[in-house]
Amino acid sequence: MDLSRRQFIQTAAVGAAVAPSLGAAAAAGKLPSRPFGKTGMEVSILGFGSGSRFLMYDEDTALQALTKALEGGITYIDTANNYGNGKSEERIGRILPEWRSKVTLASKIAGRTADLFNRQLEASLKRLKTDHLDVCHLHALSGPEDLAKIEAPDGALKALYKARDEKIIRAAGISCHAAPESLKLALERHDFNATQMALNAALARMAEAKGGMKATPMPPPGSFEELALPVAVKKGLGIIAMKVFAQEQILGAAPVEKLLAYSLSLPVSLASVGMPKLEFIDRNLELARAFTPMSADDRHKLNDSIASERKAAVVEFFRDHLDA
Angle 296-305/3-16 helices, nearest 10 degrees?
130
Q: What DSSP line would sit under 122-188, residue for residue?
A: HHHHHHHT-S-EEEEEEEEE-SHHHHHHHHSTTBHHHHHHHHHHTTSEEEEEEEESS-HHHHHHHHH
Q: How far apart are CA 97 and CA 75, in angstroms?
A: 14
How far apart (Å, rounded) are the C-alpha atoms in residues 214 and 212? 7
Tell me which of 76, 83, 161, 262 is the catalytic residue: 83
Q: How many helices (H) and strands (E) does the chain have?
A: 14, 12
Q: Is 76 a catalytic residue?
A: no
In order of 14, 126, 209, 226, 300, the CA distances from 7 in angstroms are: 11, 43, 20, 6, 11
For residues 229 and 235, give the distance between their C-alpha atoms in angstroms, rounded to a whole number: 10
d(CA 230, CA 207): 16
- CA 88 to CA 157: how far, in whole Å? 24
Question: Residue 106, exposed/middle/buried by CB under 10 A (0-12, 13-18, 19+)?
Answer: buried
Q: Which residues are catalytic?
A: 83
